[in-house]
Structure 1
């Protein structure tokens, strides 16, 4: 089964420093390597800050595009992994490893079976 492990980051505090990024990469790289070695890796990626997003809406046949999300929260999606594991317990175990590496919350969501 495929699971999305999404990295939730408090982006209200501004972007991380170069030192913080380097430290994060040094912790996340080995996690990525282990996922690949164990055959659970499907895809992963980091995202630019939320203010780089564009929201597309279609309502009553009319399309609107607005800059940035309009979400009442400090935490935003900052990156993700897509993994393929046998069950939720295995996905949660990887989420613990990812949360330790990223030092941020990780949301775990199963795909609907169509992935």
Structure 2
């Protein structure tokens, strides 16, 4: 049985890198995704819009307050994620390392609870 892992990509606040840099990163990410798909270990992944597009729902006193913007202020924000299947944490960390090298960004690897069918 394989476990599913969330690979979270954290981006720094600030300007977006130039198109030439982004094209190289996207090509490398595309190659990693193709390899994951060929092994059957790709589940889902996508980039996210800027944190200013976020809406936070916060329970308070029996009501749910709706606020614009990210949950917390910070210098980094969740910019995208990928869900993969891997035999174990070491295998998931190997994929996460490839994403980190390709993007130059921090990648958090976290297992989902439970196992999935191969």
- Number of residue pairs matched? 114
How does the TM-score come out when normalised to structure 1? Answer: 0.90
Report the Cα offset of residue 114 of structure 1. 7.5
Secondary structure, in 3 states, of the residue corresponding to 2:34?
A: helix
Report the Cα offset of residue 77 of structure 1. 0.5
2:54 matched to which residue of 1? 53
Structure 1 vs Structure 2 CA RMSD: 1.6
Q: 1:69-91: CA deviations, max 9, x gaps?
A: 14242111000110011110010
2:40 matched to which residue of 1? 39
**Mapped partners of 2:100, 2:65: distance in 1:** 36
The list of structure 1 runs, each at least 4 consecutive aligned residues, that deviate by more than 4 angstroms after superposition, is: none
**Mapped partners of 2:17, 2:66: distance in 1:** 28
Would you say the 8 A contact 2:4–2:115 is kept in 1? Answer: no
Report the Cα offset of residue 15 of structure 1. 2.6
Correspondence 1:30 to 2:31: yes
Once the two structures are overlaid, the 10-residue window that deviates more, 41-50 or 59-68, is: 59-68
Q: Give the unaligned 5+ runs of structure 1.
A: none
**Mapped partners of 1:5, 1:64: distance in 2:** 29
How does the TM-score come out when normalised to structure 2? Answer: 0.88
**Mapped partners of 2:107, 2:48: distance in 1:** 15
